[in-house]
Structure formats: structure tokens, C-alpha cells
Amino acid sequence: MSTVTDTAAQEDATTRGWVAGLRGRLQQLLAFASLIVIFAFFAIANSAFFSYGNVTSILFSTVVIGTLALGTTFVIITGGIDLSIGTGMTLCAVMAGVFIANWGLPIWLGVLGTVLFGGLIGLVNGLNVARLKIPPFIATLAMMLVAQGLALVISHSAPIYFTDAPGYVKISTGNLLGFNFPNAVLILLVSTVICAVVLNKTVLGRYTYAIGSNEEATALSGINVRGWKIVIYTLAGLFIGLAGVLISARLGSAQPATGQGYELQAIAAVVIGGTSLAGGKGSIVGTLIGALIISVLNNGLQIMSIPQEWQNVILGVVILIAVYADMIRKREA
């Protein structure tokens, strides 16, 4: 009798998992369809929108938001949040300037040091959340302010230029593939593939979903939830460092006053892509689609000469719709 019951329970669990997977794929399809509709609308509204140069510009503008959003996806799937990614990216850009322009380190070593410095920011966030039990919103809000202040202090509130390191600028603006396709976009695509593999095919990915679905049950099953949370926030920090490299290489300088607002767009990209703010659900492909939607909206509205304040209104409405859609999905689940 118990064998029959166990078999039925397993079949029921398999069915629920299949249904959840189907809903996730449908959400991705819906996000992709929305991207196509928005793109088609702007292409019809303005012929310049569909030019190769403008499409490349859209992809280029997706790089920073998309890179930040990749790491943030892991954090949000666990049910957490990271508000420090914008100013953290700025601090990492400043550190890249210190390493390469001020200290004269080789470019590869400066890039590595910058990415690892981002990992340090994530590690501190993870320790505050997992060990000190500080709510993620407060812990990362504090880090956001700390990073903003340190960026100004370290740079003396002045830009740091990479004039003597032209090779560094090529990390973002160069064309490794031999045609007008920026290296930064290529780096984003490779990073997306790596994150998708990690999230879907590794222990880290399985534990990320498990923590977000039911943290208490995950802990009771013997998994070191605190340790894995620290790992996840550190991973997100590495992408903060990578974003710092990409934005400073694109600008040819580390601008200590930039960064604020990027965290909101990155989080919006994750949510629009179908990741649940309640945790337990999300995908890397969806996040990339969400980042593209934001870039297409920003670019299209600028081409149509829509004032910046109305661009913010429209983006806010899109985020509200995405969150409300997530609430409806949870009610139906």
C-alpha cells in the first residue's frame, strides 16, 4: 500500500514540476513576444530605428544592464534583492582606474582585480545577509551608500582616464569578430550562456532554486543555506565587477558620479524576464530578454523624442505590469 502511495506522490510531483516548467517556458515566450511587438512598433514608427547602427547601439546599451541583471537573477531567485549593484559597479570602475591608470598594472591583471573586487562587494553582502541575518534590502542599501561614497573618496570626485591604456578601451569597443559587433556584446552573450549552464545544470543552480522555493525545508534537508547564500551573493558581485570593467572601458574613463539608477533597471530586467520577486522561479534567458526590452524601450522613446520624464513613467508602468503578471501566476499556481 505504501509503495503505491509513494509512486502516486512521485508521479504527482513530476506532474507539478512539468507544469511549472511549462509555465516558465510560456513566460519566456510571452516576454519574447512582447520584445518583438515593441521592436516592430518602433521600427514602423521611425525607419531609423531598424538601421544596423541603431540595432548595434541597442545591443551595446544592453550590455551593462544585462551584465548586472545576470548576477542579480541568482539573488532574486533566492528571494533576496541587491540594491548595491549600480554604485558597486561605479566603485569597481574606479578601482579599474586605480589598478590600470594610476598603478600601471597590466590590463589583464587590472581586469581580474576589478572583477574580484566586485566579488568582495558581493561577499560582504552575503555575509551581512546570511551570517548577520540583516534583511537583504537593508544590507544592500547600506552597501549601495558605502560604494557610492568610496567611489567619490578614492577618485577624489574626479574621473580617471585610460588614456595610456588604449587596449583597455578595446575590451568594450573593439571588434574581435572582425566586423561592427562590439566586444562588450560578445562578452554579454558568453556570460549569458555560462550563467544559464550554472543555473540549470549545476548544484549551485539547484540550491538557488531550492532556497528561493522553501528556505526552511532546504535547511532541514541538510543543505548549508547560509554558505550557499554567501556563494550566490559573491557570484552576483563578480558580475558587478565585470559590469564596472565594461562601462569604464566603453567610456574610456571611470566616472565616480555614475551608477545610480542602474540597479533599478537591472532589477526591472530580471522581473520583466519572468523571475519572481518572491523567489523560486526565474531564468537567465528571460533576464536577457527583459534587458533587451528595457534597452529597446529606452532607445525607441529617445528616437521618438519622448521627454526623459515620460520615459521613466513608461518604464515604471512596464515594471508594474510585469509584477502584477507574476502575482497572477502565483495565484493560479
CA dist 38 → 30, 178, 206, 326 (Å): 12, 30, 33, 20
For the segment 105-126, what is each residue's pLDDT rounded down to a tens digit? 999 999 999 999 999 999 999 9
Three-state secondary-structure class, residue 78: coil
Higher pLDDT, 149 or 11: 149
The residue assigned the cell 547601439 is 57
Q: Which of 49-53, 174-178, 226-230, 264-268 has the lowest mean pLDDT?
A: 174-178
H-helix or E-strand containing 254? strand 253-254
Q: Evaluate whether 118 touches 88 at the Cβ level (below 8 Å).
A: yes
Identify the pLDDT of residue 22.
Answer: 57
Spatial separation of the C-alpha atoms in residues 143 and 149, rounded to whole Å: 10
Residue-wise pLDDT for 242-259, tens only, equals 999 999 999 999 999 888
Question: 244, 100 in Cβ contact below 8 A?
Answer: no
Grid coordinates 574580484 are at which residue? 116
**Quick check: 291 and 69 in contact, CB under 8 A?**
yes
- pLDDT for 305 beyond 60: yes
Which CATH code of 1.10.155, 1.10.3470, 3.10.450, 3.40.50 fits the domain covering 56-332?
1.10.3470
pLDDT at 284 over 60: yes
Task: Give residue for cell 519572481.
Answer: 276
pTM of the predicted structure, to 2 decimals: 0.90
Residues 75 and 81 sit within 8 Å (Cβ to Cβ):
yes
**189-235: pLDDT as tens digits:** 999 999 999 999 999 999 999 999 999 999 999 999 999 999 999 99
| Cell 543552480 -> residue | 205
Segments making up each domain of the chain, as ranges: 56-332
Give me 71's grid cell: 548576477
- For residue 280, give the 3-state DSSP assignment: coil
Q: How confident is residue 21, by pLDDT bands cut at 50, 70 and 90?
A: low
Which of 139, 107, 110 has its CA nearest to residue 122? Answer: 139
| CA-to-CA separations, 76 to 16, 279, 301, in angstroms, rounded | 22, 6, 28
pLDDT for residue 140 is more than 60: yes
Q: Which stretches within the chain are classed as H helix?
A: 2-45, 52-77, 85-96, 107-130, 136-155, 166-173, 183-201, 203-213, 215-220, 225-251, 262-272, 284-303, 308-332
**Cell numbers found for residue 276:** 519572481
Is the Cβ–Cβ distance between 50 and 36 less than 8 Å? no
Specify the length of the chain in residues: 333
